[in-house]
Chain A
């Protein structure tokens, strides 16, 4: 399948004198993939996201970028920022930094208006986005007078209304209530499946990310140290994953602890129903052999 993003020998420092935030990244992302990124705080995840949506190099001008990022066949250095933004919608880690209009509704309409879409189309997109993230009741409110989670929902809605081909989400659920976090991830998964968009999401909590991601990247000190199916992380070894700051879901911790204590299972499950059935059918057989 076609590579929608190609990254070659990417390096980036915020200042020429500073340690690089991205040391070396080579990566191909296929159209329609759903990729989760994890790694220690400060390892370069947000910096990497900024390279995808063109903020690097266009906005962070005192930085030094080497190598290339190609999005949808075009080199981000050669594309003006507003054109990259049309292809790559990004939800920032700090939602407040993304809000600019005086009302929620205007904020969501801002992107589609800049695309020069017809009025009815803009209205339809704004309505759809408001409904999707459940903030229709906040439409007249000022974004700066909202709770943290409400702001995050507005930021997500604003990006959804752009209907980008590539969606980059930098910890989009950090401020959301648990039910809201699941809702938003479901919405995104639906978009990925139905509209074949490409999704790249930074998420520390694997129990959330693994619900939809088919590929997991772990970054460490500006490089990629893991790039594989999420299941492979567990198959390899739990210890290095934790050293890279990846939070193993408690379900997986439970199974690995039971295995450490001498029980054996046919597999380590990712979801609750499977976990329950494995426990009911397999736990106990270990006891009879160990006793």
Chain B
């Protein structure tokens, strides 16, 4: 299960060019965060991964299937997609129907659907909302319903546009844990996020974009501590990195590529020795 993007250009029907010669390879089982400026083309890029958008030029291969020749319905069996705005995803009258829609459509056995749903709604704190209409929920609740309706299908490839948007600290931690578990079970995860602190703690591979191009691709530790990349992609360093830089300003031997709290502690204690 891998995704290969080859020299991808995309121009919207209105004439706006959103992607400019993007090439990228996402291997089976990888965990990737796509980050970068507003309007950089992140959403446009990932909409190519399940065939929602078709390349203007170039190719996108998902497991060697060229998305040009495959339908969104076909792709939906392997690729789960969570939209940036849950409004674009939710359409049924209750949360429960919403969550069961995908697996029912794919003829999953009823008992399995029930079991998977229980698991997902417990994790995402939606248990008490099953009979409610998705349209009468808070924004954070709606986003979690959108996540649940995709996670319940347990797809091999998960594409998540801003999965932690509007979530409080507890939900965010649960979502991070769930993504990690799925990744450990071999699922390929690609998420788009502005949440630098989330990325610093989860440490996926980071692809940084600006103006329709990928300008950096590497370990979270390298991308998020590179001042030039951060400036170009409108990212900011994690707080811990900013602290490391501030300390290094005064104590030159202090390492500048620190992104997690635990790394920082180790470095501080070592430094004081």
Contact = CB atoms under 8 A, between A and B. Distances in A.
B168 A204 contact: yes
Contacts of A261: 265
A3 to B, nearest CB: 28
A133 to B, nearest CB: 10
A249 B250 CA distance: 23
Interface stretch (B68-76, B94-102, B133-141, B147-155): B133-141
Contact of A14 (B40, B136, B165, B238): B136
Contacts of A39: 168
A273 B246 contact: yes
A10 interface: no
Given A179-B234, A280-B251, A41 B265 contact: no
| Residue among A146, A175, A272, A280 with the highest chain B CB neighbour number at 10 A | A272
B197 to A, nearest CB: 6
B37 interface: yes
B236 A182 contact: yes
Given A146-B39, A287-B272, A245 B170 contact: yes
Interface stretch (A51-59, A115-123, A148-156, A193-201): A148-156
A287 B272 CA distance: 9
B268 A279 contact: yes
A185 interface: no
B58 interface: no
14 contacts: A39-B168, A41-B138, A41-B140, A41-B167, A93-B166, A141-B16, A177-B36, A204-B166, A204-B168, A258-B265, A272-B239, A272-B242, A283-B268, A284-B272
B140 A142 contact: no
B183 interface: no
A18 to B, nearest CB: 9
Interface of A: 14, 38-42, 45-46, 93-94, 96-97, 141-142, 145-150, 152-153, 171, 174-182, 204-205, 207, 242-243, 245-251, 253-254, 257-258, 261, 272-273, 275-276, 279-280, 283-284, 287
Contacts of B16: 141, 145
B79 to A, nearest CB: 20
Contacts of B247: 276, 279-280
A104 to B, nearest CB: 12
Contacts of B243: 251, 254, 272, 275-276, 279
A94 to B, nearest CB: 6
Contacts of A179: 37, 234-236
B165 A174 contact: yes
A67 to B, nearest CB: 21
Contacts of B194: 149, 175-178, 181
Given A42-B141, A178-B236, A148 B261 contact: no
Contacts of B137: 42
B196 interface: yes
A199 to B, nearest CB: 20
Contacts of B236: 178-179, 182
B11 interface: no
Nearest to A15: B136
B252 interface: no
A175 B139 contact: no
Interface in B121-144: 125, 136-141, 144
Nearest to A153: B38
A147 B38 contact: yes
Q: What 5 pairs across the A-B complex have the smallest Cβ distances?
A: A149-B38, A245-B168, A41-B140, A247-B169, A276-B246
Given A153-B38, A250-B238, A178 B196 contact: yes
Interface string B243-260: 100110111000000000
A258 B171 CA distance: 25
A39 B166 CA distance: 11
B53 interface: no
Contact of B43 (A94, A147, A246): A147
Interface string B18-58: 00000000000000000011111011000000000000000
